[in-house]
Chain A
Amino acid sequence: MENSFFIDSGGLSPAALEKKHRLETDPSSRTDHMAYMPGMERIESDVMDTVISQMKSYEYDRYTAKDVKTALEHETCTIEDLKALLSPAAAPFLEQMAQKARLETGKHFGNTVYIFTPLYIANYCENYCVYCGFNCYNHINRIKLTPEQVEHEMSVIAESGMEEILLLTGESPKMSDIKYIGEACKLAKKYFRMVGLEIYPVNTADYAYLHECGADYVTVFQETYDSDKYETLHLLGRKRVWPYRFEAQERALMAGMRGVGFSALLGLSDFRKDALATALHVYYLQRKYPHAEMSLSCPRLRPIINNDKINPRDVHEKELCQILCAYRLFLPYAGIVVSSRETAQFRNGIVKIAATKVSAGVSTGIGDHESKYTGKDTGSDEGDEQFEISDGRSLSQMYGDISAEGLQPVMNDYLYV
């Protein structure tokens, strides 16, 4: 099913509505998505060109069953092998890929599965990304937690036993500035042993500041590596600048972050090319920053408030599994995160093959952990969710389920030094 992204959710002034429609229908009304905005740092790096040229020349229909078999026989997976494993020709070999991926995962991670939870502290956003529940034209409850509320949320989460937290905001440098996020990091250090960030891309100096405040890991989703497609989906705001986003992980590493996470949002564009580019983005940055820890996520599109038609199109569970196995074989050392966008059944299965990290006790809303964890009506304002989740298991349920699969849940594997 094709996606119908454009929704007028109400609450907009006639002028705003007119601008929205113009952005959607008239490409000339949109800014140049390849041009850095004032204040956006440019770094010297050839990683982007290398990744994109490989992606552009990737013709996955050229690969045959023989290429896939060859790839599966190789001890180390080359870039050509990765291309074969991501191709349609690999579909009949999914079980063999999974068997091999499981061995690789075992060598590097044993039978451990890490658990974390995301915490959204604000959902204000200045971007118009057509598939996202937080987009500035979507009529939802907006909220930004005060430091006291942030701390309260953290204490509720920490109480559940969680030790790793991922802090998220909508992309609004105005409403959620670096100072605000930095304060949240400092609070998080009090309650958690590992603090990750998934916020709007910032300059090296700001990443360095956030690292000082206690954050150690930066995840940025590129959404799609096809910049032309990207342009048609991210119509307004800083996020529209595609190359600045691409270089975010490198800036974070330059600023001293321990590790970085990568992802394409599968279903936005050609998923095989996006998966290839994501893996190569990791591969080339790892070569340049060999000390850094690297991880991949694999989100698929999900329905949002006011638009339940959004779906991951041609990326079904089998395709997702193929991608994850290919990632594992090509990047045996990289962490693979599978979020609560996927069902409990899928997550239970994939942690035995390739995934090394799952979220639990998840809310993509704002300020609602107490009511969601305890069922108590706290009477405080809550902000709406970014997208609908599929797996609502609490930490203790997740811990129990992972253990029951014969795997060892790990609450923390980092030390901030």
Chain B
Amino acid sequence: MDDKLTIGGREFSSRFILGSGKYSLSLIEAAVKYAGAELITLSVRRANTKKEENILDYIPRGVTLLPNTSGARNADEAVRIARLARELGCGDFVKIEIMRDSKYLLPDNQETVKATEILAREGFVVMPYMYPDLNAARDMVSAGAAAVMPLASPIGSNRGLATRDFIQILIDEIDLPIIVDAGIGKPSQACEAMEMGAAAIMANTALATAGDLPKMAAAFKSAIEAGRLAYLAGLGRVLARGAASSDPLTGFLR
């Protein structure tokens, strides 16, 4: 089955985007392998340019880097961080993260739209992390985003699809890949998001806090693939109450 995820003109077989910021560098290779990931995020502020261990050295060849702008508090800072990532040789993909809140780390949609516009114009493949708001998502599409990354619940919370209904609206209304990012704590939640029609899942904390990271990466991989297959197969209907009557209510009509 030829089911590829296309972002910014590049095709990916895997629909699992891996975070890298919350676990040991030495585990990255195993995580990538077991997750089957082809895209991995990289915090630019964490990318060491000096002599201690450099995260870039741990990322296997052939994996596309997705530098993020974490630490940015507004569009201007995000733009500067993205440009720095390009200078560091991290490629043209960028995940915009703009937070004006250090407690919940909730993204600032307005500033994110601004940064998306500037960076898309500069040729970046822009993947904005956002609060799932339809109007903001439409603005991001107009601004040139290559995908939209709504949060499932607050980052690091492992609470799952708290914003389920609003993510569904984005999936239904936005023509770009909808990648569910942040808050996914269990493979079952990832599977559910994929069944809903999400294009991909991004996870970090769920792996970092697992007992066995590579094993959990493999579990997510299976769950994401299962959810994707179910979506493609077309889910059967779920009956709200009881069984359907075999005698149709409208049988009396002539």
Contacts and interface: CB of A to CB of B under 8 A. Distances in A.
A14 interface: no
A184 interface: no
B23 A110 contact: yes
B212 interface: no
A286 B25 CA distance: 31
B205 A110 contact: yes
A174 interface: no
B102 A294 contact: yes
B209 A161 contact: no
B100 A290 contact: yes
B24 A107 contact: no
Contacts, number: 84
Interface string A395-412: 000010001001111111
A88 interface: no
B6 interface: no
Interface stretch (B47-55, B114-122, B226-234): B47-55
B204 A110 contact: yes
B102 A293 contact: yes
Interface string B19-41: 00111110000000000000000
Given A110-B209, A291-B99, A163 B48 contact: yes
A408 B103 contact: no
Contacts of B171: none
Range class of the B interface residue count: 35 or more
A107 B21 CA distance: 12
A21 interface: no
A333 B102 contact: yes
B84 A415 contact: yes
B209 A107 contact: yes
B101 interface: yes
A161 B102 contact: no
A161 B22 CA distance: 21
B157 A110 contact: no
B4 interface: no
Interface residues of A, number: 32
B52 A161 contact: yes
A245 B195 CA distance: 55
A108 interface: yes
A110 B81 CA distance: 23
A415 B44 contact: yes
B72 interface: yes
B86 interface: no
A415 B81 contact: yes
A15 interface: no
Contacts of B103: 286, 290, 333
A291 B21 contact: no
Contacts of A243: none
B186 interface: no
B156 interface: yes
Contact of B81 (A294, A409, A417): A417
Contacts of B100: 290-291
B102 A413 contact: no
A408 B24 CA distance: 5
A262 to B, nearest CB: 14
B73 interface: yes
A406 B212 CA distance: 12
B52 A163 contact: yes
Nearest to B22: A110
B39 to A, nearest CB: 19
A112 B22 CA distance: 6
A417 B72 contact: yes
Given A106-B208, A163-B48, A286 B22 contact: no
A90 B114 CA distance: 48
Contacts of A163: 48, 50, 52
A112 B70 CA distance: 16
10 contacts: A110-B205, A112-B21, A161-B50, A161-B51, A333-B103, A411-B50, A413-B45, A417-B71, A417-B72, A417-B76
Interface of B: 21-25, 43-46, 48-53, 71-73, 76-77, 80-81, 84, 99-105, 156-158, 204-205, 208-209
Interface of A: 103, 106-112, 161, 163, 193, 259, 286, 290-294, 333, 399, 403, 406-415, 417
Top 6 A-B pairs, shortest CB-CB distance: A110-B22, A415-B45, A110-B208, A107-B156, A417-B77, A408-B24
